[in-house]
Structure formats: structure tokens, C-alpha cells
Amino acid sequence: MNKQITKAIKYIGVDDLDLDLFESQYIIPNGVSYNSYLILDEKVAIMDSVDERKSHEWLTNLEAALQGRVPDYLIVQHMEPDHAGSIKHLVDRYPEMMIVASERAVKMLPQFFFDVDFTTRTIAVKEGDTLSLGSHTLQFIMAPMVHWPEVMVTYEQSEKILFSADGFGKFGALCHQEEWACEARRYYFNICGKYGAPIQALLKKAAALEIAQICPLHGPILSENLGYYLSLYNTWSSYEPEAKGVLIAYASIHGGTAKAAKAFAEMLRERGVERVSTTDLCRDDMAEAIEDAFKYDRLVVAASSYDASLFPPMYNFLHHLQLKGYQKRRVGIIENGSWAPCAGRVMRAMLEQMKDIEILEPMVTLRSRMTPDNLPAMEALAGELAK
Ligand code: FEO
């Protein structure tokens, strides 16, 4: 797919509709795009390559867009293989082309392409360095840990375009027209969630730039209403909730905990909680559960005890939240156990390791099934959550 971004800048990226799992863990029902761009000026620059899975299609796009010209530079903003995977194809094809990347990325190149001699093929850039292509000037902005440590983003000064690497990316191939925020949020919290502070630092640098368009490495080019996207990124990266509401995440072995979780959701709705969402951690998409946990300001975890510990799907969920830097939320706990309930103790211990988590009392303990005896504690916890 070749698409004109501006007169001199073309989209030459590719959609991937047959990848089973992104990063071998995330379902992508609508695929994903590996974006790449071509800038045609006195000098010709390619902005990132694509996953090697799609190198053939990408090289075809590139050839068509080049119209007989030869690239002078490949700008490598990120070394993760979904973007850097086709570098060797390009290096082999264009022996005069120079690779422009951060110092860290230059050091990483041989790790992925040990059989390529890069010694005379690279230009290492640092914060604020510029590269003139003629009427276009690329300004490099270091963005370490905006997913990986070698990441940089690039600002094209004449057309005011920010090439934002993984920032502002989303799941979903470009051939699928869909609302941006849902899959951008799932992408953000699962891929970049841990890196709120570096993303805040990048947003501060971006605030000093006049930006007309954002060209990320996944998902659509953003050209209108940029304040909307920047504001959501500010909320997400500062770990503030995006919406008032409660996610009830449950992990139930034989259905007793699930039934109690659903009854608890009704109690919250009756108390007027703005939005109540439930997720079955044994069956629903874990990445969506993580996304919703960050989206809302309150969370309830409900799980069975298992092997004198916690039922693994809930352990997995809380471990994911720990990894992604979950914080600043109010959380209620419902445990279940037929002879020695201990899930609550493990969930509490995991939550206590997270920053600024307020654990609400009382914790509810079910013994196999929810009974009328559980109602006072459940109502008390529901009252706390509805406050
Ligand atoms: Fe899209 Fe961090 O790679």
C-alpha cells in the first residue's frame, strides 16, 4: 500500500493479517500494521523497515515509491524486529545507503545481524542532532525506554511531522477502519505500560514542537485533533484513570466465584457506580483485562484458592499488573476457598507491592458458594467501592 502523507513523504508500510499473536502473546483480531515511510528530497530517507515476515511486500512498496531513485539513508528509530527485521535486505540491496540511529541502536545492530559488517554503514546520532535532506530536515529526539532503550523519535521540521516510533501506535491493520482509542489503549498498557515516566519525558519534549501530523510505527497516521491523542497519552502515562468505574476481574474454578462476582457487579450497579465491567480471567483476553484495569479508577479481584495459594489465572493477572506498573487505584478483594481459603492473603500481598494501592475493607471470604451469610460483607465492600 503506497499512500501520500505529503507531497514528499509517502507511506510504504504493510499490513499483517495472518500473524497469530503479536509479540507471541497478544491476540490481534484485526491484524497489525508495520509502518514505514519514504521521504523524497535531494536526499532520500526511509523511516524504519518492517517485520521480516512482510519484507517482500515492503520492498515492492519501496521500489514503486522510489521511482528509480536510490535511498541515501535508512533511519532506524527502534531495533525491535517488528520494525528492524528487514534491515539486512535493504543493506544488501543498497550498498551506499547509510543507517542513521541512536548510539545504542548502532551497538544493537550486530546482535540481530551478526553476519553484516556495519562498520562503515552507520551514523550514530544524539539528542538534537539534525540531518538535512534538502528542503526537509530531520531532528532526532532520544526516547529511551519508550519501549526499548535505543528508541528515538524524529521530527521533520519543514512539514512539522513527528515520526513517533511505537508511541501513538495501535493494534489493527490499516485496512480495518476502527475507532482509535480501544486498540491503542490495549496496545499502550500491554506494550508500553511499564514505561510511564519515559513517555512523560517524551511528551514534555513534544510539547515544545509544533506538530501537524504524527506518523507512528503501528496504526493510522494522526493528522487531526492531535490534542485528543496527546491528552490520552498524558493520562495513560501518568497512571491516572481515564474513566470512573469498576472492573471486576474473576478467576473461578467451578463457577462459584464467577457467580459471586456477577452478583457483586449488580450490587455496584444498584449503588449507582458509573460503569461496572466484568472479565473472566480464565477465558477472556488477558490484554483486555489489563487495559480495563488501567482504564477505570477501581478494581475488584475475585479468585479461588488453589494449592495453598492463588488460582493461577488470577496470579497471572496480578503479576501482569505488577509488571506494567499498576498504581493509584482503589481495590476490593473477594476470595473463595472450600476448606482453607488463602487466595485473599496472596492477592493482598501482591497488591501491597504495587504503588499507591488502597485495599478496601472488608475483604469478602466465600466458602465454596456465595450464601446469605456473605451478604453483609459484600454489601459493606460494595458501599466502600461506591463512595
Ligand atoms: Fe512495535 Fe516495540 O515494537
Q: Is 166 in the pocket of ligand 1 (CB under 6 A)?
A: yes
Of ligand 1's listed atoms, the one at least distance from the Cα of 169 is: 1
Distance 382 CA to ligand 1 centre (A): 40
Of ligand 1's listed atoms, the one at least distance from the Cα of 80 is: 3
For residues 220 and 307, state if they share a domain. no
For residues 113 and 206, state if they share a domain. yes
Distance 154 CA to ligand 1 centre (A): 16
Q: Is 79 in the pocket of ligand 1 (CB under 6 A)?
A: no
CATH number where 197 lies: 3.60.15.10
pLDDT of 140 over the 70 cut: yes
Distance 310 CA to ligand 1 centre (A): 33
Q: Is 147 in the pocket of ligand 1 (CB under 6 A)?
A: yes
For residues 81 and 172, state if they share a domain. yes
Q: What pLDDT is attached to residue 184? A: 98
Q: How confident is the model at residue 3 (pLDDT cuts 50, 70, 90)?
A: confident
pTM of the model: 0.96
What torsion do the CA atoms of 355, 180, 247, 288 make, to the nearest 10 degrees?
-90
Cα separation, 150 vs 111, in Å, equals 13
User: Atom 1, ligand 1: which residue's CA is nearest?
Assistant: 166
For residues 248 and 311, state if they share a domain. yes
pLDDT digit string (tens) for 288-302?
A: 999 999 999 999 999
Domain enclosing residue 317, as ranges: 243-386
Q: Is 83 in the pocket of ligand 1 (CB under 6 A)?
A: yes
Cα separation, 287 vs 21, in Å, equals 12
Identify the domain boundary among 221, 237, 253.
237
CATH number where 379 lies: 3.40.50.360
pLDDT digit string (tens) for 153-162?
A: 999 999 999 9
Distance 50 CA to ligand 1 centre (A): 10
Of ligand 1's listed atoms, the one at least distance from the Cα of 165 is: 1
Handedness of CA 128, 49, 212, 164 (dihedral sign): negative
Distance 23 CA to ligand 1 centre (A): 9
For residues 175 and 39, state if they share a domain. yes
Q: Is 16 in the pocket of ligand 1 (CB under 6 A)?
A: no
Q: What is the mean pLDDT of residues 322-342?
A: 98
Q: What is the mean pLDDT of residues 320-338?
A: 98
pLDDT digit string (tens) for 109-135?
A: 999 999 999 999 999 999 999 999 999
Q: Is 48 in the pocket of ligand 1 (CB under 6 A)?
A: no
For residues 217 and 269, state if they share a domain. no
For residues 215 and 275, state if they share a domain. no
For residues 217 and 363, state if they share a domain. no
Q: Is 170 in the pocket of ligand 1 (CB under 6 A)?
A: no
For residues 231 and 330, state if they share a domain. no
pLDDT of 107 over the 80 cut: yes
**Span between the terminal Cα atoms of the chain, in Å:** 51
Q: What pLDDT is attached to residue 2? A: 61
**Enclosing H/E stretch for 175:** none
pLDDT of 90 over the 90 cut: yes
Closest-CA residue to 333 (of 293, 360, 366): 360
Closest-CA residue to 36 (of 45, 23, 27): 45
For residues 182 and 267, state if they share a domain. no
For residues 63 and 211, state if they share a domain. yes
Identify the domain boundary among 207, 237, 267.
237
For residues 276 and 214, state if they share a domain. no
Count of structural domains, the chain: 2
